Amino acid sequence: MIKLLISIKERDPAANSLLEIFLLYPGFHAVLLHRIANFIWNLKLKFFAKIISYFARIFTGIEIHPGAQIGENMFIDHGLGVVIGETSEIGNNVLIYHGVTLGGNTLNKGKRHPTIKNNVIIGAGAKILGPVIVGEGARVGANAVVTKNVPNKSTFMGVPAKELKENSNKIKKRFTAYGTPTDIDLEQQTQENKIILKSEKIEKKLKLLELEIKKIKHK
């Protein structure tokens, strides 16, 4: 518990003391109550685990299914509206902002929620859907909708989410609030990404055309 409190203070400049976090941070309370609910869930006492999860949601405004697997030092900043589904797996030192959904995309009982690796930042309002993997050290920008795997140490933004390639090395080396870099021209970067995607599509079409020409020559 102390380790989690210290890690939260290190990541939140608004936190004045460990006591303040302990008493007043709903993100801390939600994780603490989830630890209890998850322990009971693993004892196969699922009804009682869901009771604890239910009251935790009322108390904190954060909904974490008791079956979700959460690593060390996960910090839910602000917290209101966060939803973490049953088969979600979250690594160590993950930072999640308010309004985030780790949701399923199927009615099947198996793995249907995301896997979040270590040291990931997920921005406010982001939706990560299905059994996708968000790689270690990745950043998911505010309000992004992710339905495909996110590589390690990459930054994904937009709807649907696409990789932000500009200044990627710079982004990887520093903290990115809300998973969203604010020191670059996002509009310009979006246009550049569109040009890159179009050039990649043209390149693929040219390769297909070359193959067709070769086939015609061999006939």
> Where are the chain's structural domains?
2-183, 185-219
What pLDDT digit, counting tens, does each position of 98-148 carry?
A: 999 999 988 888 999 999 999 999 999 999 999 999 999 999 999 999 999
Distance CA 156, CA 153 (A): 10
pLDDT-based confidence at 206, cuts 50/70/90? confident
What pLDDT digit, counting tens, does each position of 181-205 carry?
A: 655 555 655 565 666 667 777 888 8
Taking each helix axis from N to C terminus, what angle separates 2-11 and 26-42, rounded to the nearest 10 degrees?
140
Q: How many residues does the chain have?
A: 219
Going from the C-alpha of 115 to that of each of 43, 146, 151, 187, the distances in angstroms are: 23, 12, 12, 30
Annotated active-site residue in 29, 65, 98, 113:
98
Predicted local confidence at residue 205, as pLDDT: 82
The token duo for 54 is: 């239910």
Mean pLDDT of 16-26: 93
The angle at the Cα of 41, spanning 36 to 44, to the nearest 5 degrees, equals 140
Contact 73, 91 (CB under 8 A): no
Distance CA 86, CA 65 (A): 5
98 is catalytic: yes
CATH tag, 2-183: 2.160.10.10
pLDDT-based confidence at 170, cuts 50/70/90? low
β-bridge pairing 145-146 and 75-77: unpaired
